[in-house]
C-alpha cells in the first residue's frame, strides 16, 4: 500500500498544522510562521533564504540541471474563529480559515521526506506569504522565487470535496480576479427639490443595473464571467441628495478576451450613463490575479500519481481566484485539490467561514501527492 509510508507522518503533520493554526498571521506579517518554517528546514539540512519580506524558499540541490518547485501559502484571514477545539486560534480576530496552515505543514513534512530521497532533480520549496488578496506570489516571483525552476506544483485543501479525495483538471480551473472602484460625482441638493440637483444615487443605481447586462448580453452564453458590485456608499441624511457616491466590485473571467471585454464595457457604461444623467463618472480598475491554468501534461501525470494514493475526480472550475496563477503563467504548473470535508465529524463549513476546519486524516495524502509527484517528474527527467 502506497500510503503506508506516509501515514506514519500524520502525527507530525497534525502537530505542525495545529501550531500554525493557533498562531495565525495576516499577509506579510507571517514572522513567527516564517521563523518556524526556516528552523524546521535548517534542522533537516536544507538551506533557506528569506524573500518577499516574510516569504521563505529552501533548496534541495541534487546536482541536476532541472528544478521542480513545490509551493505552500502561509497567511491567515481577519476572522474571529468560532470553533471550540483545543487548537483554536489564540489571536483575536485572526484565523486560518482557508487551510494555509495545513498547506504549510504538509509541505514541511514533504520537504523532509524529499531531502532524504536524493532524487536526480533539484527541488525548490516555496513558502509564500500574503495569498489572501495581496498577491504575495507576484512579489515572490519578482524577488527570484522561480529562478532556475522548470515546473511547479501546488495543492489546496478543499472543503467541497470528501476527505482524502484528490481533484485535478487540465486547463483553466480558477478565475482571474479584478477589483474596480466607481466614483460618481453629481450636484448635491435638497431631497425635496431634485430638479435643482444632479443625483449621483440615481446615476449609481442606473449603472449597477446596466453592469448586470455585461455578462447576460455581451459575453457568449458558453463562456464564464462574473460582475459583482459588493459595496456602495453615498449620502448622509434622508433628505439630502449627496455630491458623491462610491461603489466597489469584482470581475471574474477565465480568458483574456472576455477579461478585456468586461473591463471595456464597465468603463463605457460608467462614462455614458453618468453623462446622460448629468454626473461625472470615474472608474479605477485594478487587475489582481490572472486565471489559474493547469498545464495539460502535468495534469495528466498528476492524475496518474494521485490514482496510486486515493480516489481522483475532476476539479470543477471555480470563479474564486488564486495567486498560484503568477507562477503557472510563467512555467508549467499544476494546482491540485485535497478533500477535507467530513460530515460525520461535523467538518462541513466552507472556506473563509469562522467555523472552517479540515479533516486532519486527509493531510498525509497531501504530503504523499507532493512527494510522489516530484519523484515521478524526476523519473521522467532521466
- As a whole number, mean pLDDT of residues 151-179 equals 97
CATH 3.40.630.10 residue window(s) in the chain: 4-174+291-381
Q: Residue 280 — very low, low, confident or very high, per pLDDT cuts 50/70/90?
A: very high
Please tell me the predicted confidence (pLDDT) of residue 381: 81
| Cβ atoms within 10 Å, residue 339 | 24
Please tell me the predicted confidence (pLDDT) of residue 196: 96
- As a whole number, mean pLDDT of residues 136-149 equals 98
- As a whole number, mean pLDDT of residues 136-152 equals 98
Q: Is the pLDDT of residue 377 over 80?
A: yes
| Alpha carbon distances (Å) from 184 to 180, 241, 244, 247, 362 | 13, 13, 6, 8, 49
Over residues 309-333, the pLDDT tens digits come to 999 999 999 999 999 999 999 999 9
Q: Residue 1 — very low, low, confident or very high, per pLDDT cuts 50/70/90?
A: confident
Nearest 10 degrees: CA dihedral of 262, 266, 272, 278? 170
CATH 3.30.70.360 residue window(s) in the chain: 176-289
Over residues 228-267, the pLDDT tens digits come to 999 999 999 999 999 999 999 999 999 999 999 999 999 9
The rounded distance, in Å, linking the Cα atoms of 113 and 108 is 9
Over residues 198-234, the pLDDT tens digits come to 999 999 999 999 999 999 999 999 999 999 999 999 9
- As a whole number, mean pLDDT of residues 90-101 equals 98
- As a whole number, mean pLDDT of residues 84-94 equals 98
Architecture per CATH, 176-289: 2-Layer Sandwich (3.30)
Cell of 100: 494555509
- As a whole number, mean pLDDT of residues 15-37 equals 98
Q: Residue 287 — very low, low, confident or very high, per pLDDT cuts 50/70/90?
A: very high
Please tell me the predicted confidence (pLDDT) of residue 293: 97
The rounded distance, in Å, linking the Cα atoms of 116 and 108 is 13
Burial class from Cβ neighbours inside 10 Å (0-12, 13-18, 19+) for residue 210 reads middle
Class of domain 4-174+291-381 (CATH, top level): alpha beta
Catalytic residue among 290, 327, 337, 365: 290
- As a whole number, mean pLDDT of residues 99-119 equals 97
Q: Which of 376, 205, 211, 173 is nearest to 294 (CA)?
A: 173
Whether 360 is a known active-site residue: answer: yes
Could you give the percent of the chain with pLDDT greater than 90? 98
Residue pair 363/100 in contact (Cβ under 8 Å)? The answer is: no
Please tell me the predicted confidence (pLDDT) of residue 68: 98
| Cβ atoms within 10 Å, residue 344 | 8
Question: Exposure string (b/e) for 152-164, b if CB count within 10 Å is 16 or more?
Answer: bbbbbbbbebebb
* Beta-strand relationship, 67-73 and 151-162: parallel
Residue pair 120/382 in contact (Cβ under 8 Å)? The answer is: yes
Catalytic residue among 185, 263, 326, 360: 360
Q: Is the pLDDT of residue 382 over 90?
A: no
- Alpha carbons within 13 angstroms on the beta-carbon side of residue 215 total 13
The rounded distance, in Å, linking the Cα atoms of 368 and 48 is 23
Over residues 50-71, the pLDDT tens digits come to 999 999 999 999 999 999 999 9
Please tell me the predicted confidence (pLDDT) of residue 268: 97
Amino acid at each position: 500500500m502506497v500510503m503506508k509510508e506516509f501515514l506514519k507522518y500524520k502525527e507530525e503533520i497534525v502537530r505542525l498544522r495545529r501550531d500554525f493554526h493557533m498562531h495565525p498571521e495576516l499577509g506579510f506579517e507571517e514572522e513567527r510562521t516564517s521563523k518556524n518554517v526556516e528552523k524546521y528546514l535548517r534542522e533537516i539540512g536544507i538551506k533557506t533564504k528569506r524573500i518577499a519580506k516574510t516569504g521563505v524558499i529552501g533548496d534541495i540541490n541534487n546536482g541536476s540541471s532541472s528544478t521542480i518547485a513545490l509551493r505552500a501559502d502561509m497567511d491567515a484571514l481577519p476572522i474571529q474563529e468560532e470553533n471550540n477545539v483545543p487548537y483554536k486560534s489564540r489571536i483575536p480576530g485572526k484565523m486560518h480559515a482557508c487551510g494555509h496552515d495545513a498547506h504549510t505543514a504538509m509541505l514541511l513534512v514533504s520537504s523532509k521526506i524529499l531531502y532524504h530521497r536524493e532524487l536526480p532533480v533539484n527541488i525548490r520549496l516555496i513558502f509564500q506569504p500574503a495569498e489572501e488578496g495581496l498577491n504575495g506570489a507576484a512579489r515572490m516571483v519578482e524577488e527570484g522565487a522561480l529562478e532556475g525552476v522548470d515546473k511547479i506544483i501546488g495543492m489546496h485543501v478543499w472543503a467541497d470535496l470528501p476527505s482524502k479525495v484528490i481533484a485535478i483538471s487540465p486547463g483553466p480551473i480558477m478565475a482571474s480576479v479584478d477589483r474596480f472602484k466607481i466614483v460618481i460625482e453629481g450636484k448635491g441638493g435638497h431631497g425635496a427639490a431634485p430638479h435643482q440637483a444632479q443625483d449621483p444615487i440615481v446615476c449609481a443605481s442606473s449603472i449597477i443595473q446596466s453592469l448586470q447586462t455585461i455578462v447576460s448580453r455581451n459575453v457568449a452564453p458558453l463562456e464564464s464571467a462574473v460582475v459583482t458590485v459588493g459595496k456602495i456608499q453615498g449620502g448622509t441624511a434622508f433628505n439630502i441628495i449627496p455630491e458623491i457616491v462610491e461603489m466597489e466590485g469584482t470581475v471574474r473571467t477565465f480568458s483574456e478576451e472576455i477579461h478585456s471585454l468586461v473591463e471595456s464595457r464597465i468603463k463605457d457604461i460608467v462614462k455614458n450613463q453618468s453623462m446622460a444623467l448629468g454626473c461625472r463618472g470615474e472608474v479605477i480598475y485594478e487587475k489582481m490575479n490572472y486565471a489559474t491554468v493547469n498545464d495539460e501534461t502535468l495534469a495528466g501525470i498528476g492524475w496518474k500519481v494521485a490514482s496510486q494514493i486515493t480516489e481522483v475526480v475532476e476539479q470543477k472550475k471555480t470563479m474564486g481566484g488564486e495567486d498560484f496563477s503568477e507562477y503557472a503563467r510563467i512555467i508549467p504548473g499544476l494546482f491540485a485539490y485535497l478533500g477535507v470535508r467530513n460530515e460525520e465529524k461535523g467538518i462541513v463549513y466552507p472556506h473563509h467561514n469562522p467555523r472552517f476546519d479540515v479533516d486532519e486524516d486527509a493531510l498525509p495524502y497531501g504530503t504523499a501527492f507532493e512527494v510522489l509527484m516530484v519523484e515521478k517528474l524526476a523519473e521522467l527527467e532521466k
